[in-house]
Structure 1
């Protein structure tokens, strides 16, 4: 397993599925866990140690409201942690601010509200630093993305 996906509630499953879909597109091995930093902190710590021992290299953590999960994970590991703020109260701004405002020396990379696909993409890019095959897949993805965009939009639009 290269990536572990954590989120604190079953209700976050649909949002976090984007990260899983991205990782599947690139053939990156991952496992997902529903664990709350507040409800089961001991189980979270135990699972985090287990994924590190299994060779996990990047963590994606989605959280809403107080959104402590990504920061709690970052405080317990030196693996890169990517936070996904999940829309809840205040349109997800509370979660965004909670995740992005980490104290100095305990960073959490943060993507847009409900944008777990980008968290998956960032994890893929991190892994591609030392994986040339994965880097080639990203390059092909980008070329295909550009070509498809031009194909769909290059002739102008009727308004």
Structure 2
């Protein structure tokens, strides 16, 4: 049996700078990642083939990034019953708002978990995928919990430094 992994699909290689955030967070949790450029519109047969193959090989979560019409996540959700997370990319004249609506507005029964537009959404897609994997993996659950604790401690440290700075001002 192959190791479970998360597949990151991008509608264009221009999405990589945003999605590198997703890759980095997933790798920080030691989650195996596959990254692919594929299009719901330009390569629908290849997209379908990859999704069915990836699922058979152990993909547990699909993360799909696209801008403008942003149909990739919805197309993937129509192929698989694995969780699909959509990342609207901040591109085009509407800076990703069109992508957000295209990603989030799915028919009942074919959900796409949609995160924020751009870099913050790309990071949260990775955290959400880790949490999904953690449901059946106690080690991953502990890693996610430890990451949350580290983030909380960083905020507390920043507040302490701010309070000290204000006190000495």
1:139 equivalent to 2:142? Answer no
What TM-score do you get using the length of structure 2 for normalisation?
Answer: 0.90
3-state DSSP class of the match of 2:59? coil
Once residues 44 and 149 of structure 2 are traced to their aligned partners in structure 1, the CA distance between those partners, rounded to angstroms, is 43
Partner of residue 48 from structure 1, selected from 47, 51, 57:
51
1:82 equivalent to 2:85? Answer yes
Structure 2 portions without partners, runs of 5+: none
1:122 equivalent to 2:116? Answer no
Partner of residue 10 from structure 2, selected from 7, 19, 31:
7
Once residues 136 and 128 of structure 1 are traced to their aligned partners in structure 2, the CA distance between those partners, rounded to angstroms, is 8
* 1:22-61 alignment runs, 5 A limit: 22-61=25-64
Tell me the matched-pair count: 159
Q: CA deviation at 1:29?
A: 0.7
Residue in 2 that maps onto 1:21: 24
Q: CA deviation at 1:139?
A: 1.1
Partner of residue 112 from structure 1, selected from 95, 101, 116:
116
Runs of 4+ off more than 2 Å: 154-159
Once residues 12 and 27 of structure 2 are traced to their aligned partners in structure 1, the CA distance between those partners, rounded to angstroms, is 22
3-state DSSP class of the match of 2:31? coil
Cα deviations by residue, 1:66-116 (Å, 9 ceiling, x for unpaired): 000000000010000000000123111000011111111110000000121
Once residues 48 and 26 of structure 2 are traced to their aligned partners in structure 1, the CA distance between those partners, rounded to angstroms, is 24
Structure 1 portions without partners, runs of 5+: none
Residue in 2 that maps onto 1:95: 99
3-state DSSP class of the match of 1:76? coil
